Structure formats: structure tokens, C-alpha cells
């Protein structure tokens, strides 16, 4: 893509994509969860990746290939019709204060970055999430991680610097509201779908 170092790229995440992932992790508080980011390079600015949607994937046994492979096939197929593709990976660790990127997260993100080289990892930051109700922080409750020149994943800046942006400035306010109303109960992931295909990982109508 000829972008220079990944550090120059900005990632702009839409409210819906952002909130869906956080709610998913809240639905499964005692487990590690993951998801994929959906979007495209901004048609107006090659230096910005627009993350317009997200799909929550699993809340158990994240390290198994078969469910992952089948879901990536279906997800890609679903979004290609909208001119979008899988552009990144989201991960929330099992433990509250665990801010490490585990092998599973890196492996899955490596795979995604083979198809979309600018793919980031967004890692949930539980301390920031907890602090949401107490403050007016407008920055995302996620850490941005990108691949550096030696192909290793590293965290970008203390709070993502200004490289990870919330598209809608009031996203955290909306998120706090949804948390208060226990909206996480309505989030469906691919795990749920594979157990019961009537459950829809697209989560249509979640934010209506």
C-alpha cells in the first residue's frame, strides 16, 4: 500500500462498531472475547481507515480454527456487497488488568493483515471502561496496536495517541447509557449463531 510506517495511519471507528464490541465483552464478563472490525480505507484520505461496523465473534475457546474459518468466510461474503471488508481485530482479555496481547490475538490479527495490511488490533482497556461512569473521557476505552516494521505488534501511545478516533464525539456518552440499561444482554455473536442459527451475528436492530 506504500503508506510508510503504520504509525502514520489513523483509525476512525464508528459509534455502532465501537459500542457493539464493548457491549459484547460486558455480556461475557468472565471470559475472553473477540471480534472483527469491518470497514475500508477512506475514499477521501488514504491515511484513514474507516471502521464502520464490527462483528462479535466468540466468548469461548478463541484458539480454535474451525469456527473462526467458517465465520470469516460468511462475514466477508456478507459485507462485500456493501463494499466493505474485514479490516481489523478486537480482543478483550479474561482478566481485568491484563493488558497483554496473547498469542491467539496476534495469530488471528496476522491472518487478517494478510488480506488487509493496515489491520490493527483493538484491545479493551478495562480500567478506562470502569472509569467511564465517573469521568467525561471522550477517548475510546480501547488500546490501539499496530504491526511495526519488524512485524511485531505493539501498543500505539499511552491511549492510542490520536491514532484511534471515535467518529462520533459523544460515543462514550451513548455507551454509558447503554451500559446502564444493560443493553449488552441483546448482543449476539457468532458463537451464539453456531449454537442456534436463528441468532443473528449482524445484530440488526440492536441500536434502534
Partner 1 sequence: MVTKTEETQLNQLEIQVDNGGGGAWEYLSLVRKLKVRRSEMVLKHGSSILSDPGKRSALGPDVWTLHEQVAIAAMDCQCFDVAQNCIKALQKKFPESKRVGRLEALLLEAKGLWGEAEEAYSSLLEDNPLDQAIHKRRVAISKALGKPSLAIELLNKYLELFMADHDAWRELAEIYLSLQMYKQAAFCYEELILSHPTVPLYHLAYADVLYTIGGLENLISARKYYAATIDLTGGKNTRALCGICLCASAIAQLSKGRNKEDADSTTAPELPSLAAAALEKEYKQKAPDKLQLISSALRSLKL
List residues near partner 1 by CB under 8 A: 30, 32, 60-67, 69-70, 73-74, 77-78, 94-95, 98, 102-104, 107, 194-198, 200
Q: Which is nearer to partner 1, 12 or 192 (CB)?
A: 192
Q: How far is the CB of 60 from partner 1 (least distance, A)?
A: 8
For residue 110, the tally of other CB atoms under 10 A from its CB is 15
The residue length of the chain stands at 208
Q: Which is nearer to partner 1, 1 or 64 (CB)?
A: 64
Q: Which is nearer to partner 1, 62 or 164 (CB)?
A: 62
Distance of CA 103 to the CA centre of its chain: 17
Please give the Cα distance from 22 to 163 (Å, whole number): 19
Cβ contacts of residue 207 below 8 Å, gap of 6+? 16, 19
Q: How far is the CB of 190 from partner 1 (least distance, A)?
A: 11
Q: How far is the CB of 150 from partner 1 (least distance, A)?
A: 22
Q: Which is nearer to partner 1, 71 or 143 (CB)?
A: 71
Q: How far is the CB of 144 from partner 1 (least distance, A)?
A: 23
Looking only at the bridges linking them, the beta strands covering 10-13 and 121-124 are: unpaired
Please give the Cα distance from 75 to 194 (Å, whole number): 13
Helix, strand, or coil (residue 182) = coil
Amino acid at each position: 500500500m506504500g503508506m510508510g510506517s503504520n504509525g502514520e495511519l489513523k483509525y476512525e471507528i464508528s459509534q455502532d462498531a465501537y459500542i457493539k464490541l464493548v457491549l459484547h465483552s460486558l455480556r461475557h464478563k468472565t471470559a475472553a472475547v473477540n471480534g472483527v472490525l469491518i470497514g475500508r480505507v477512506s475514499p477521501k484520505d488514504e491515511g484513514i481507515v474507516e471502521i464502520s461496523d464490527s462483528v462479535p465473534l466468540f466468548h469461548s475457546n478463541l484458539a480454535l480454527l474451525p469456527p473462526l474459518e467458517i465465520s470469516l468466510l460468511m462475514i466477508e461474503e456478507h459485507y462485500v456487497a456493501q463494499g466493505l471488508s474485514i479490516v481489523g481485530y478486537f480482543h478483550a482479555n479474561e482478566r481485568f488488568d491484563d493488558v497483554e496481547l496473547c498469542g491467539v490475538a496476534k495469530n488471528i490479527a496476522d491472518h487478517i493483515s494478510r488480506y488487509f495490511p493496515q489491520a490493527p488490533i483493538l484491545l479493551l482497556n478495562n480500567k478506562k471502561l470502569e472509569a467511564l461512569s465517573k469521568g467525561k473521557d471522550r477517548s475510546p476505552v480501547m488500546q490501539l496496536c499496530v504491526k511495526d516494521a519488524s512485524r511485531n505488534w505493539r501498543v500505539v501511545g499511552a491511549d492510542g495517541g490520536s491514532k484511534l478516533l471515535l467518529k462520533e464525539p459523544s460515543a462514550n456518552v451513548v455507551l454509558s447509557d447503554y451500559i446502564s440499561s444493560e443493553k449488552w444482554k441483546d448482543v449476539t455473536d457468532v458463537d451464539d449463531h453456531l449454537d442456534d442459527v436463528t441468532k443473528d451475528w449482524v445484530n440488526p436492530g440492536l441500536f434502534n
